[in-house]
Amino acid sequence: MSACVRIRHDHTAHSSPPSRASGIKRPHSPPPPRRGGRFRIAGADLSASITVFLIAVPMSLGLAVAMDAPLEAGLISAAVGGIVAGLLGGTPLQVSGPSAGLTVVTAELIQIYGWRTTCAITIGAGLLQILLGSLRAARGALAVSPAIVHGTLAGIGVAIALAQLHIVLGASPRSSAAANALALPEQLGRTSPAAPLIGALTIAVLVVWPRLPGRIGRAVRRLPAALASVAIATAVAAVAAPGIARVDLPSWRSHALPELPQGPVLALATAVLTVLLVASLESLLAAVAVDKLTADRAGGRTSDSSPPAPDAPAAPRVQRSDLDRELRGQGIANVLAGLLGGLPVSGGAVRSSANVRAGATGRAATVLHGVWVLLAAGLLVTALEWIPLAALAALVMVVGFQMVNYAHIRNVHKHREFLVYGATITGVVLFGVLEGVAIGIAVAVAVALHRLARTRITVTDQGGQHLVVVRGQLTFLAVPRLSRALGQLPRGGDAVVELDGFFMDHAAYETIQDWSDAQTAQGGHVVFTGRSGGRIAEPASAAHSCCRPWTPWRNHHCHDRPDRSGQPVDARRAAATGAAFALDENPGADRAPAGSAGAEADARAVDAADATAGSTGRSGTPGDGAAVPRRTGAHRLASGLSSFQRNTAPLVRDELARLAREGQRPSQLFITCADSRLVTSMITASGPGDLFTVRNVGNLVPPPGAEAGDDSVGAAIEYAVDVLKVESITVCGHSGCGAMQALMGTRPDTPRTSLWRWLRHGLPSLERMTSRHHAWARISGRLPADEVEQLCLTNVVQQLDHLRAHESVARRLAEGALQLHGMYFHVGEAQAYLLAEGASAGSGVDEVFDRVGPCDPNHAHPYDITDLSDPTRLTALGDRGDHAAVSVPTGAAGPADPTGSGELERTSA
């Protein structure tokens, strides 16, 4: 059997319901499988689709006007984006349509190549989107610096606003943003008042409409501001300016379809890549924004961060974005839009946010909006032709201004990336989108190099001892100045080197190492410290043998090991925490700043360095290596708490604060043994809020009606199932269980202690193991090693039977809203095993525990069953082809046959 076990997704009554979005912390992981394939339309989806439709029609026409494209092309793209991308995309609530971000690019392509070739370019970009989505490259697009992405969109917004301003003034836009800006003074001098007044009225209604006060304001705000502004401007223009330029929808019979591209191959390829880049980035960023809006809505938060009403109904849970699927869906929509003669399609933040705020619950709202647009394109042509072009231009101009987001500017300024943001905007406005992105990347690289090179080195004489202070990152760019500074120190003298930074590359490390060795060889004494004065030193390789960054926690036995000075490591660790980085055997490794995700690894590196403090001349006074007694329990507890407050609390404080506000909503009840070697959060890769855990001696579940005094486990089960509404319950046993060993050693004369009274709930497991009417519990690929392991496995199966006898569990199982899982963890092998689906559900005779392997991310199923924090990943294990290899025929005694008779039969209970 392969190490990567396939997972079956069936739709039986035992299949997992969709997991809670709030219970999983991985952002934008693949959504859980749908329960059933029916397309459901809720009332909220119907009303939301109408709201989005009323926004999409004027927006689509306005963008077509802005691109100088056929007006019906905007309606085609809105319909295709809603229906196709809505059905096939990975973001259920995202509404796709004509791309505001591609307005400038598409307008330029139409001007250079014509409309039909532009449609062919759209098809090519769509095919590349499908390819990239199939290669799972969507998340890589989000690796671009946010300053460049937001700068690109802001630059496009500025160009859109400048172009539409000319239409509002009653003229035609120029070929570029710079030309539009230069032509504005001349245009203002010869403008007739009709178009500007209609445009100003449209903008005024857009601004005032969402802010109308009182009961009447709440009532009229149900109509979208975009539709209200265009409708009012259309009514006013019909009376006051009948001669104003209006929408002209040509006959569908004259609609132009794509043709084979004509032009230089390199220029066409650049055009396709530009459309691909902007459309993909806009769609993926909008998908991330939709996820955030959906999460805020589910948590009851609004845009003003006001708390939800106490009696407000809970918002429905919606699947999170699968970005690769979203990219493929956008690609298919672009291919179809290009074939039908439509504009390029991408996810739109304006339409999507309106969809979320209107209460949409699924794809139905997005798809229905596309259907309404399609019907409007065929039935409302006469009404649409009354709309003034100035009103549509004003609407799109406001959208362009909104793309220059003040919150984005504030964030990039806070992170000292405003230069990158400004350079990208300037490049996009002056030269074009692709050129602007290239300029932004070049400036970002230059800024990064400048920061790496900006290292300050000062040398101070402190009366016979020199203090060398290094501020900033030590890279090869700083090596010449570092060598000059160190070369000024007297040979063989004493020195303290204070290192304040979080990165040192190999060239800087070797420079310091060679100088330090030379000083020590000539009788000098060198001490390396951090900013707070704590000493740091190069650790020996043995120092890494205990404290290694292979878990999120640190093995506390590392702190019991004395250093060369005879002091416990923990006694001196507090002074070392201020050190910026350690001179270790991997000098090029990043040292993350405090508060970042890598800060804990840095603390471990400092621990390892301190473990050998005093071993070299530059690390302090050598000691005699005397043994130090292990720390007491109280010291260990206080040290562990201090370590948590210092290293871990800053990383989890925000998440714990959220859980404190929202309450716990775990997805799984996890019943396991109290054995100290079983770290549930580690083996399930779970965190705060994921598991509701019950631990007891022997992972026992007393059956209902057991004697008084054993209600604790039953109470936890009842609370988890009825109050917390967990979606699965896992019973986890483990190897070498002392409770199972004690159970096997029970004799009639065993003293009736508290331990015995508890272990009596495991007697049914012992009887099951020795019974001839139950199948052997087995580990996939081998038989149990001995009777104790056989009992550990059988006990898991028996406790699942006890679980099914609880009334609350039986009720939820009958409803198909709960799953039971059996698990076995081999401590010595650090290997997890899951019980076969039939046995877990109580419907199978094969009690086989299948090995859970580390799946290859490039070939494995997207739902990795090694992550037990998501109950949807604890589904049935697919291939059972290896069971024949481990089944023991009747009459053959195996090492796990507790009776030795060899007559154990594989029959149902």
Position 292, amino acid:
K
Residue 532: how many other CB atoms lie within 10 Å: 14
Distance (Å) of CA 18 to CA 21, 173, 289, 476: 9, 50, 22, 52
Check if the beta carbon of residue 152 is closer than 8 Å to that of residue 279: no
- The DSSP result for 390-423, as a single string, is HHHHHHHHHHHHHTS-HHHHHHHHHTT-HHHHHH
Give the pairing of strands 668-673 and 691-696.
Answer: parallel
Q: Which of 20, 297, 561, 734 does the annotation list as catalytic?
A: 734
544 in catalytic set: no
What's the burial of 721, exposed, middle or buried (CB within 10 Å: 0-12/13-18/19+)? buried
897 in catalytic set: no
Alpha carbons 381 and 376: distance in angstroms, whole number: 7
Structural tokens at position 608 = 């390892």
Alpha carbons 883 and 125: distance in angstroms, whole number: 49
Q: Which of 558, 737, 792, 855 does the annotation list as catalytic?
A: 737
Q: Give the gyration radius of the chain's Cα atoms.
A: 34
Check if the beta carbon of residue 424 is closer than 8 Å to that of residue 439: yes
Alpha carbons 52 and 46: distance in angstroms, whole number: 10
Structural tokens at position 494 = 């004493």
- Closest by CA to 905, choosing from 767, 764, 770, 795, is 770
Beta carbons within 8 Å of 830's beta carbon, 6+ residues apart: none
Q: Which of 324, 602, 610, 675 does the annotation list as catalytic?
A: 675
Alpha carbons 163 and 156: distance in angstroms, whole number: 11
Check if the beta carbon of residue 538 is closer than 8 Å to that of residue 507: no
Distance (Å) of CA 663 to CA 655, 659, 690, 761: 12, 5, 12, 33
Residues paired with 468 in a beta bridge: 459, 497
Check if the beta carbon of residue 452 is closer than 8 Å to that of residue 477: yes
Q: What is residue 620's three-state secondary structure?
A: coil
Structural tokens at position 358 = 């209107």
DSSP class of residue 85? I
Q: Where are the alpha helices (DSSP H) in 745-828?
A: 754-759, 763-770, 787-804, 807-815
Q: Which of 119, 558, 673, 732 does the annotation list as catalytic?
A: 673
Structural tokens at position 674 = 């109290």
Structural tokens at position 130 = 């499908």
Angle CA 870–874–880, to nearest 5: 160
673 in catalytic set: yes
Check if the beta carbon of residue 494 is closer than 8 Å to that of residue 465: yes
369 in catalytic set: no
Alpha carbons 540 and 616: distance in angstroms, whole number: 10
Give the pairing of strands 778-779 and 848-851.
Answer: parallel
Alpha carbons 472 and 470: distance in angstroms, whole number: 6
Q: Where are the alpha helices (DSSP H) in 719-873?
A: 738-744, 754-759, 763-770, 787-804, 807-815, 837-841
Residues paired with 246 in a beta bridge: 388
Q: Which of 677, 773, 782, 811 does the annotation list as catalytic?
A: 677
Helix and strand counts by DSSP (H, E) for the chain: 35, 14
- Closest by CA to 623, choosing from 695, 674, 571, is 571
311 in catalytic set: no
- Sheet (strand 494-500) strand order: 456-461, 465-471, 494-500, 526-529, 535-536
Structural tokens at position 134 = 């199939």
Residue 679: how many other CB atoms lie within 10 Å: 12
Distance (Å) of CA 611 to CA 502, 536, 633, 645: 21, 10, 21, 21
Catalytic residues: 673, 675, 677, 734, 737
